[in-house]
Amino acid sequence: MSDALLSVQDFSVVYDVSPPVEAVKGVSLQLRRGEILGLAGESGCGKTTLAYGIQRLLKPPAVITSGEVLFHDASGEDIDVNSLDPEEMRRFRWDKVSMVFQGAMNALNPVVQIGRQLDDVFQVHRPEMSRRQRIAEVKELLEIVKVGEQRIRSYPHELSGGMRQRVMIAMALALRPQLMVMDEPTTALDVLVQREILKQISQLRHEFGFSVIFITHDLPLLLEISDRIAIMKDGEIVELDTAAHIWTNPRDEYTKTLLASFPRLTGERGVVVR
């Protein structure tokens, strides 16, 4: 596929406990440039393990037992992620692929101002930048995600949940990566703030051209924002199709069950059996 950004082939992860747990089983997929790929499934199905695994963020007892992960860089180079040494992997993360973690309050340092935390990204990955350049970039990022540069000296606890999540998006966007992985970034937010965050993600995707892997158990949400959706069950992708086809013509019984599990605004009332 000429427009592929990421190719994952026969990827498997096992948790080396007693007995061993096969968390991801021979998953293969491709992510296209500029698309939002939704990754859906119930808790424990392996979607977060898959996302962490392709970035080599897993820790013991998780072990990658098979698979190839190729990143097709905009420069034309194909990067074999599994072959990168620790220093190469450090440069690869945030520069090529960034991550928005679930629960911004846990991901941000509570005793460091958010401007300083954003500045750290540039100090580590862009050491040639001057302090003035870094501050200008931090202020621009805070404006882009609609937090506002006046919050540059705020601590995480001084921000609302939605603003903290916007700071995490700003951090992920800082080095203009080609891929942003989002692990349930709106789970702890109320519905209105969720919609604002999702709208902004779509706008930023169009503006900067990055691809998104969006992980959630909320299938209706993915139907709204995704170009394609991969449905995971027991460590395997059981269906991968466009959001429109998933909604109108799901093929797998598990996908149909997921869709049927969400209440509808119209239709007859169900009968409660007591």
Residue 190 has pLDDT above 90, yes or no: no
Per-residue model confidence (pLDDT) at position 106: 77
What is the rounded average pLDDT of the residues 129-136? 97
Number of domains in the chain: 1
Digit-coded pLDDT (tens) for 234-255: 999 999 999 999 999 999 999 9
Per-residue model confidence (pLDDT) at position 107: 84
DSSP string, 73-120: -TTSPEEEGGG--HHHHHHHHHHTEEEE-S-HHHHS-TTS-HHHHHHH
For residues 54 and 230, what is the distance between their CA atoms, to the nearest angstrom?
A: 15
Residue 273 has pLDDT above 50, yes or no: no
Residue span of the structural domain in which 160 resides:
108-175
pLDDT band at residue 274 using 50, 70 and 90 as cut-offs = very low
Return the minimum-mean-pLDDT range out of 31-40, 193-202, 205-214.
193-202
Per-residue model confidence (pLDDT) at position 264: 66
What is the rounded average pLDDT of the residues 194-201? 88
Q: Is residue 270 part of a domain?
A: no
The model's pTM is 0.92
